[in-house]
Amino acid sequence: MATAATTTRLRYEAIKPKIGARVLNTKEELLSGELSEDILALMEERGVLVFPEIDFADHEQVKFSNSLGGNADELAGQNQDSVFKVTLDEKAQHANVVEYLKGSLFWHIDGTMNPIPIRASMLTAKVLAPEGGDTEFANTATSYADLSDEQKAEIEGLRVVHSLWCSAFYHTPEPSAEQLADWQSKGEAEIPLVVTNSTGKKSLVLGNTAHYIRGLDMKDSQRLLHGLRAFATSEPYVYKHVWKLGDTVMWDNRTSLHRATPYDPYCGRMMHRTIIKGGEAWDQ
């Protein structure tokens, strides 16, 4: 007797009304590729997806990323078949990379310096910090949607200059001349304060790389940028993920500010990261 074909369905539960969903499918179902379109659609809707204690091995995380649009190259020295090790411990990571990763302790969006930002980032917890080291996320699409019509009109069409050297001052306020020259050599990028993706969804692009708004007085620029960031990172737009070993979290990079909470940099905390290729420029 012929048996009826079964279709794997995405199973999930919302975490908070304005952000986050917890995906409940098995590892085998996730790696099958059958759920890829549904997972991407859910990520766009909810911003942040949690896969509790899914315990991906590195090759499985790479496979999962590839099934969602392709595992992109990371920093120098990493290829598409590798994970990137996120740690502040210089015994396990190059000192120059550790300096770059210090910015992860402050609200930011990945890839603001790139014409085409990455689609999503994915972290898997390999070693937990004894204290701290949680990750906070803020949804810049639902927070934008809740701005008043007057606020939306005020910021429509504004453009922001983003720079690595602006973000570096958050963790190293008194750099050497050589450090500053190196940071500034990485260049700048100008992108809209409000971006619109191919589905028409609008979101704010903020964070520690946002240097100033083109054409505004610097004081007015800073008040506006910091005010919007404060709003976007307030309740009910924020989700704080308290890691368990083996958790994987994926987030929509275009609509998610994120930061790690402080922890001892020498405690061995280790996250393995993959990033998913993007296809849409900041400017549409």
pTM: 0.92
What is the span of the domain harbouring residue 261? 12-276
DSSP 28: H
pLDDT computed for residue 80 by the predictor? 56
115 is a domain residue: yes
5 is a domain residue: no
- Within a 13 Å sphere around the CA of 48, how many CA atoms are in the beta-carbon half? 26
Tens of pLDDT along the chain (284 residues)?
A: 333 444 689 999 999 999 999 999 999 999 999 999 999 999 999 999 999 999 999 999 999 999 999 876 655 445 556 898 899 877 777 767 777 788 889 999 988 988 888 999 999 999 999 999 999 999 999 999 999 999 999 999 999 999 988 888 888 899 899 989 988 888 899 999 999 998 899 999 999 999 999 999 999 999 999 999 999 999 999 999 999 999 999 999 999 999 999 999 999 999 999 999 898 999 87
185 is a domain residue: yes
pLDDT computed for residue 96 by the predictor? 72
For residue 214, how many other CB atoms are within 10 A of its CB?
Answer: 12
Token reading at 81: 């078949």
197 is a domain residue: yes
Give the whole-angstrom CA distance, residue 166 versus residue 180: 10
pLDDT computed for residue 279 by the predictor? 85
Parallel/antiparallel/unpaired status of strands 238-241 and 12-16 = unpaired
Q: Answer positive or negative: Cα dihedral of 102, 104, 109, 114.
A: positive
Token reading at 11: 């199973």
Specify the number of domains making up the chain.
1
281 is a domain residue: no
Q: Are 86 and 101 contacting, i.e. CB atoms less than 8 angstroms apart?
A: yes
283 is a domain residue: no
Residues 6+ apart with CB under 8 A from 222: 212
> ∠ CA 266-89-172 to the nearest 5 degrees?
95
7 is a domain residue: no
Q: Answer positive or negative: Cα dihedral of 47, 242, 258, 270.
A: negative
Phi-psi group of 111: left, alpha or beta (phi > 0 → left; psi -120 to 50 → alpha; rest → beta): left
Give the whole-angstrom CA distance, residue 159 versus residue 191: 6
DSSP 88: -
Report the CATH number that the domain containing residue 186 is assigned in CATH. Answer: 3.60.130.10
3 is a domain residue: no
Q: Are 256 and 54 contacting, i.e. CB atoms less than 8 angstroms apart?
A: no
> What is the SS3 assignment for 168?
helix
Q: Are 133 and 269 contacting, i.e. CB atoms less than 8 angstroms apart?
A: yes
